[in-house]
Amino acid sequence: MSHELVFQLSGTCNNYPWGKKGKQSLAAQLCAKTPGIDFSIDDDQFYSEMWFGDYPDFPARKLETGEALADVLQKNKEQLLGKKVIEKYDSQLPYLPKILSIAKALPLQLHPNKELATKLHKKDPSSFTDPNHKPEIAVALSKFEVFAGFKPLDKISPLFKLKPLQQFNPDQPEKWTDETLRNVTRSLLKSDLETVKKVQIELSKVPKDQLGEAAYILDLLPRLQDQYGPEDAGSLVALLCMNFLVFNAGDAVWIPADGIHAYLAGDIVECMARSNNVLNTGFCPTGDRNNADLFADTLTFKAHSKDDVTLPSQKSDKGQKGKTVVYRPPMSEFDMLKTDLGAGESEELAASDGPGVLIVTSGAGSMHAGGKDFDLKEGFIYFVAPGVPVKWDSQKGLQIHMAVV
């Protein structure tokens, strides 16, 4: 049975309290611009994410019929997913794209690798809903602040010689190892609330010159306390042990499986392997936190500098007119393409051997694909089947982000 190879989708917004409110949320703005759906922005509501993949939690739908994208794909696997996805990725989209609008820190978290995810899914399928890993990338659409990966050990160890922090590393080894860092992280996370509060008060009084390159801690600590109180150990782990990065639009961060991270503020396009598994241990209510020992034991220390988590864009060989860059994470499931067109410009994108999902993040134009013409407006989302080249034109300017296999 033949099926349309290119069709418009609608996304689904969610309402986590770290999201931006009302019309301040880009996720909500983009969602509301999809025509013909029952969605309007409530100015008193938080809008944190818009998902537009085939994952069941917040599914994309075929706009014309309202069918869940997963159902459409399963009825037309050969045409819409292609051989590569059927054989390698269990006949499901191997990626999950989202728009995030972040007003305050997301939980301090990591995503279990495939081995641990399989065990956790078997043991507790209601909390760990799939057996997959979840490496991810985030491409900034605005100024984007994030804690990601650990600092180099020689940047962390001097901080724990400060009097308020010596208790978390009582042995004071001359040379730190990753196991030292694991134990310190565990000790911080397992501290009682009064200890955390006392340490944060004492840390806020440390002179800037004693903190060296980490003097930014004194600016960020009250901000995190305003969001989650002075008793959240996540603030200590993030500020003392993790890289703090500030990105501009177009910059990207890469989070490997088991990579510790917490997004702090900004608007992003996020794309990850097809999973919703997460271990949380800070910047969230106590009842939402996973076991601190499990969290600490899962850490793998793949990222130990800012360079380890920064993902530069490269010119994409798919873009025939040079208007497209690719963010290529060191994993096989997906790449993210970004196309920027000025007024009167166009781009032709070569076909992929797997499915693509695109969103117009700004501007307007038109698309020719699969023998048809389509309108492109801010917030519009389209599915593109394998083997289908596309052409984009814009009279006033256009930006598109597209996840591809």
Instruction: Give the C-alpha separation, 223 to 232, whole Å.
Output: 12
CB of 271 closer than 8 Å to CB of 55: no
Instruction: Give the C-alpha separation, 361 to 398, whole Å.
Output: 8
Instruction: Give the C-alpha separation, 149 to 259, whole Å.
Output: 6
Residue 249 above 70 pLDDT? yes
Instruction: Give the C-alpha separation, 121 to 118, whole Å.
Output: 5
Instruction: Tell me the two tokens of residue 5.
Output: 């190879």
Residue 295 above 90 pLDDT? no
Instruction: Give the C-alpha separation, 384 to 317, whole Å.
Output: 18
Residue 1 above 50 pLDDT? no
Q: What is the pLDDT of residues 175-214, one digit of tens each?
A: 999 999 999 999 999 999 999 999 999 999 999 999 999 9
Q: What is the pLDDT of residues 111-121, one digit of tens each?
A: 776 676 677 66
CB of 188 closer than 8 Å to CB of 236: yes
Instruction: Tell me the two tokens of residue 113.
Output: 């690798």
Of 63-72, 107-116, 256-265, which range is least confident? 107-116
What is the percent of the chain where pLDDT is above 70? 94
Q: Which residue has the higher pLDDT, 53 or 121?
A: 53
- Measured from the Cβ of residue 144, the count of other Cβ atoms closer than 10 Å reads 24
Radius of gyration of the chain (CA): 22
